[in-house]
Structure 1
Amino acid sequence: MAGNKFLQSFKFAGQGIVAAAKRERNMKFHLAAAVVVIVAAALTGVSSSEWLALIGVIGGMLALEMINTAIERVVDLASPELHPLAKEAKDIAAGAVLVFAAASAIIGLLIFLPKWF
């Protein structure tokens, strides 16, 4: 029985990933950006350590975007009416995504610019 629940948790997680990919515009953008980065990395021959950094920022970005989406959904459910704290919670979560996206872009530039110039 415990093994069945464990396997079901993967199914639910997969459903969450699919839901985010289908319904969230920002998730679609991040997925497209990830594909571009992976293709660019494959074409430019990045090192193993650079691949590790790229996989880390891609995985982190996608995960953080899903966490942001989950926070937005819970806040909307808990506070369907406009409330300053609800807005602040959503803004802070979105800010976290922006901070990580900026850091990811800098890491990408540090990896790719020397290869292109």
Structure 2
Amino acid sequence: MRFWIEVACSSVEEVADVIARVLESKGCTVNVRWEQSFQFPQEYVRVDGVEVIDEPYGKYKIMAYFTVKKTLRKPDRCEVKAGYLVKVLEDRLNNPDSLAVSAAIKGMAEGLVDVVMREVFFSFA
């Protein structure tokens, strides 16, 4: 079973909420809560869509489409891509009390590059 939802988000919290709603609509129980928040202004980062694919053993593969529209700072750090945002999101979903993740999100934001479209994958247990 594959399903797709279009979104326009400006923070990892919004992305997590979208994923949780989609999974809950399919009968899954999802618990996501946040200790801290880090907002991405919508003129810089947008999440265009999330696709969820059932995997064996109760796992889900989630494909998120990110558009990074402007550089926040340090444009020379081109190695930092939107895929890192999804890794941070995965860590935050699996470890919602981890304060270190907020620092990682801020560090990633310093290196965003201009106009990048990425397809990124991770497993959601």
Q: Verify same fold: TM over 0.5.
A: no
Higher share of residues assigned helix = 1
Bin of the TM-score, shorter chain as denominator length: 0.3 to 0.5
TM-score (norm 1): 0.33
**Greater strand proportion:** 2
Q: TM-score, normalised by structure 2?
A: 0.31
